[in-house]
Structure 1
Amino acid sequence: MLLRSRILLLFALATLLVAASVALPAWLVLRDGEERAATLRASLQSATLREAVDRAAAPLVAALRATATDAALLAARADNDESALRQRLAALREGLGMAGRMDMVGGQGQLLAAAPAAADPLASGAAALQRDLVPGQVSAGFESAEGEVLLVASLRLPQGELLSLGVPAEAALGQIARHLGADLLMRNRSGAPLFASTPALREDAGALQAGETVQMNGRLFRLEATPSQNSSGAVVGEILVLADATAETQSRRLLLLVAFGLLVVAAAVTCRALYGVIRDALDPLTELARALQAVAGGDIFASAAIGRRGDEVGAIGEALEALRSNTLTLDRLQTGNRLAGLRERALIGQEIARLTAVLEGPARREILGLLEGEGATLGPAFARLSGHVVQQHRAMAELLAERTRDLALVRQALDERLQFNRMREELDVARRLQLSSLPTTFPERPCFRLHAAMVPAKEVGGDFCDLVMLDEHRLVLMIGDASGKGVGAAIFIAMARSLLRAAISRGATPAEALAQANDTLAADNPTLMFATAIVAVLDCRTGVLTYANAGHNAPRRRCEDGREGELPVEVGIALGVMDGIDFADQTLVLEAGDHLLMFTDGVTEAMGPGDAMFGDARLAAIVGDPRNADPAMLVEAVATSVEVFAETEPQADDITMVALHWRGTEPASVIYTREKETV
């Protein structure tokens, strides 16, 4: 489709849209005006009908007011004489000369009397009327009774009764139709006609709808409906008024026809003027389009035969000439660029060939093969060169990263070695400190000989032993074993040794010393460690050995006569398990020649090949051997036997031993002399 055709079509569509945008609001305004006019007409007609009904009911109201003052009627009502009341109502109705009905309703809505006689009150809703009307107030409306329409007026009496008077409504409705100057149709709520001012309206009563316009006798009539209310205000039907709308309808149709004609004429004139403008503008554009197509096809010398113009078409023509000039300039530049590209291509080829020297043989031959001949492809050659260079760079980077990782591992190993050496030096210092705390010189008395030794399983051990003279006559023997091994066990057992020595030094018995140390260790023991121990005090004057045990191995005893066995001890509870534990003191009188060996479980639980333990039997055999008469020899014999038994098995636990040889009590003269020297 040509451009001018599309523009005209677009203009036509735009015109239709503008017309629709104007017509729709106008139609909405007209519709709103019609609705407002219909509302006003309905209100006006309702007021007019109300006025006409009041005017038609005025004789009834005057008759009711006159009747309400009748003395005989009031007397019959005061006497509650229903017969006299009915007769008086009949006489009053005949005196009025009206063909209708009159009745009186009591204060409770009951029918007191009616003329002629009836079962229900004349005014429907009589009770409501008595409640709503004030004394002397009148209500008038239409009532339907037995297919007949009545105009009923009701008056409320001062005594509370309701006096009603009803007459046929045909005369009143005819008077209303003449007052309005239009035909009337009255229908009940089910649509049945009750009154029609013309027979034709009664025949078409079921087909007529309120608000519509009908044609009758060559005229147009608009049906206006007004609700028909009875005496109490309830809707009992509707009144249709046929208003002549012929002149109004013809005027509106003429107005719409003139507006549509003006719109069509304006659109036609505008389209004709637009077509002329478009033709004047598009004919030169057609010539310019032909010239542009020729230029696009390669004819850079093509031109358009249009004169100089001062509008957009002239600007397009000037742009076409500028395009032709620029195209010629571009063609010259392209030719120069093509020659320069050939020179640069040759230079790049030479540089790529020179860079291939860094590659290995097969890769170099591949790239040189791509550069040979007239159809040399620089792109693939450069891509292959880049790939090989990147691959070699990546291999070198991986090799460098591998060497860097090896260097980091070596450095880490050196750091760990230095840290390990520092730890070993610190543990060696701790070992020397722990060994230095063990007794190396033993108390010497003619009545006994002593020896002790400890072999830690690790750099530092969890065992301890102590030999100390409390005074000139009492020797303290202590040995203990902490749970676990290493630095933690060494610290815990050192605390236990210090607490026991402090308690003994203050004069506590072995059992009291164990109880005090246990309470202190259990009160602050976050690691839940514990230690077994034996504390013994030997009185050199009597040979009485007082001792207490905290879960430790029973010492071994060998008598002079060769008897060997365990020292009778109570097992007790290890130190640090729980506070408040009581320990028991035990006593034993040593005999001259007795040997006593106190040891830790590292001796009896030493492991040999096949998971065999050294055991109590082997220890008993060594202790019972009379050749081990000296305490040092006994300790050495046990340590050697354990080492031989273990063979290549590593030492699992610390080994600590204390040996005592009791020679007998000192003579009294020696004791007296020593005490004298002391004094």
Structure 2
Amino acid sequence: MLLRTRILLLFALATLLVAASVALPAWLVLRDGQSRSTALRAELQAAQLPEAVERATASLVAGLRRSAADEALAGALATGDESGVRQRLAALRLLIGLEGSAGRMDLVGPQGQLQAAAPAAEEPLASGVTLLLRDMASEQINISFENGPERSLLLVASIRLAQGGLLSASIAAEDVLGRIARFLRADLLMRDRNGNPLFASDPALWDRAGSVNAGDIVSFEDRLFRLEAAALTNSAGAAVAELLVLTDATAEVQARRLLLLMAGGLLVIAAGATCLALYRVIRDALDPLTELARALQAVAQGDIFASAAIGPRKDEVGAIGQALEALRSNTLTLDRLETRTRLSALRERALIEREIARLTGVLEGPARQEILGLLEGENATIGPAFARLSGHVVQQHGALADLLAERTRDLALVRQALDERIQLNRMREELDVARRLQLSSVPTTFPQRRSFRLHATMVPAKEVGGDFCDFVMLDEHRLALLIGDASGKGVGAAIFIAMARSLLRAAMGRGASPAEALAQCNDTLAADNPTLMFATAVVAVLDCRTGVMTYANAGHNAPRRRGAGQEGMLAMPDGIALGVMDGFIYEDRVLRLDPGDMLLFFTDGVTEAMGPGDALFGDDRLAAITADTSLQEPSQLLDAVARAVAGFADGAPQADDMTMLALHWHGPEPESPATAARAEEHAT
């Protein structure tokens, strides 16, 4: 390929690279502008949507405030007249115009229980009643979207009563969304979390509801619309639906397309003009180079008198012609230097032969005669002679080195063994410290309350284990119980389960329910889990005043319960192990303990303990021990289980960590006068 062709191709490639380097930043700038514009539109919509919802629900909120201030309802609540409360709630529902199947009013007590509903219902309208009671101030209004029956969506307004409870009213979300669409002057499309359409301000949008996404540009009635999305959340903060607002973007899209077309045309014209100009310059510059190439080929073939027929020039071609003339003169000089080099090499060869012959004087016998024979005659070989001489010298030094190595080898082995012994002792000391630290985290002092007795124990399978158990008094009357088991054993499992224990304790200390604590811990562990470890856990909160226990499960063994004349496993909600997948929502269960109930929390190291013939200890053996009514104290129950497992193993090594926590419920403790006074003061 000719040089000029390669230069043109190289220039074409460079032109493409320059065009790309110009187009890419321009595209990035344009994309950044679009992103900023999208963000601004999203912020504007986020500011307009709450205002639209507030205006659309103004009449509902006003009616709810009047109902909250209703003296007849307050009187019925004060006297504890449940029938009167229900009748007044039904009258207020009709008074503020909540008709139809979606219109409903609820009255929730300070403890989150549903006191009355019109019409009658079993569950409160608001899914996050606990959060609302905790976070809302008196007479504060909260508006949320809640899932209704048969895939319907309700708009629920709740107000915090001065008496401490909640008053909620609901209407169909479709009734409000129509007014929101008119306020925003835009079409609306609402879908549930699975993408199924729930509402459309224009019936023509129903057919396209499942194929559009937030941020898409869609064509509708000869216009281009951009979809802006907003999540509709319930009172618990969970997303229940997605609201899409159709914004007209016809002018913006057409302007951007015209700008891109003009920029591309200008780039093509500029590149073509530059290529044409470059071709003319290359043609004028490369013709003299052809003549210079012919002259250089002649010089390369031995004709040192060849020259190029070009005139004097002050550019690169002229410099090449001058270099050609200098090459011819230097060729003669190089020939003379080569002659001198050959003579010098002969003199150095003779000197080396004399020195090698002198060094052979230190050798004896056949070795000396062999080297001298290589140096004699016209075909003397200096290289092999020097190699043989070096070999004999190296052999003599090698014999001395072998003798020295033999004397020092035993010393090196002793030193290596000593270093390994020191390192092994250091590792044992570190593992012993880790074991003592982990065992020190297991509670050894247990609260002595009139309402319950508590005891716990842990036996790691290795120096350090992957189990934990813990309990903490959240306040004067609430006891939190925690137990967990990490995948694997050893230091890694101990570190992972320690993180899980700290996260659960922190969440419970902030007031989270058992399910919320497990969800927060799971999200934190799953976000950064390169080792793919996981842990199971059970978290429970016991109210010592009522015996009501709220608990949640993250894939752990179900605790065992011994009641009046029966023993069995607790009914546990479903839940995945911690650290497997973020975003999982755990479920709280509520259980009221009877006086005399015994609860046993344990890890799988108990039921999966192996005996002769690889048999497992199993749930049946554990159930038989738990059902023994003679074991009244938690410590007695744990000692009995430990002895039974040890006897079943029959001396076999422990395969997994074994952790147990036992609670004996005696009955609700009486409320002290000081506590009653504080409760009355708080209610006032």
**TM-score scaled to structure 1, two decimals?**
0.47
**TM-score scaled to structure 2, two decimals?**
0.47
Structure having the higher Rg: 1
